Amino acid sequence: MVEFDKNKALEIAKNLASKFDVDDVKNFIEKHKDLEFIEDVKVLFAIITDSIKGRYKINKNTFLAIAGALAYVALPTDLIPDFIPGIGFIDDAFVIGWTVKSIKDEIENYKRFISEKTGKVK
């Protein structure tokens, strides 16, 4: 069984988060809007942009996890390059899925926040 090292994961997320760029993620979402996991990317992007703009508060580790995951999918260099047909986005989907699962309570809090703020379910 693989042992999970939370500190190592946070360090990786911190390094990736330093490469987070809002425009890169926006471009990724637009270019790949047909991918199955793109709705999760949109939710993570909304959480982080609302956090950056001061409209929604998240803790530092959650910020790093989201920014790191979004930077990973938006950057052209992955474990499995995106240009490989059929399998290029497997690692991206895994990273997003893992992040969503890891912060599922925060995502639910954010959805409630948006619902209360706008009267719409996001």
- Domain residue spans in the chain? 6-11+37-118
Cβ atoms 67, 19 nearer than 8 A: no
pLDDT < 70 positions in the chain: 1-4, 120-122
Sign of the alpha-carbon torsion through 80, 84, 86, 88: positive
pLDDT at 1: 44
pLDDT at 67: 95
CB neighbour class for 3 (10 Å; exposed up to 12, middle 13-18, buried from 19): exposed
CA angle 31, 33, 88 (to 5 degrees): 70
pLDDT at 42: 96
pLDDT at 3: 56
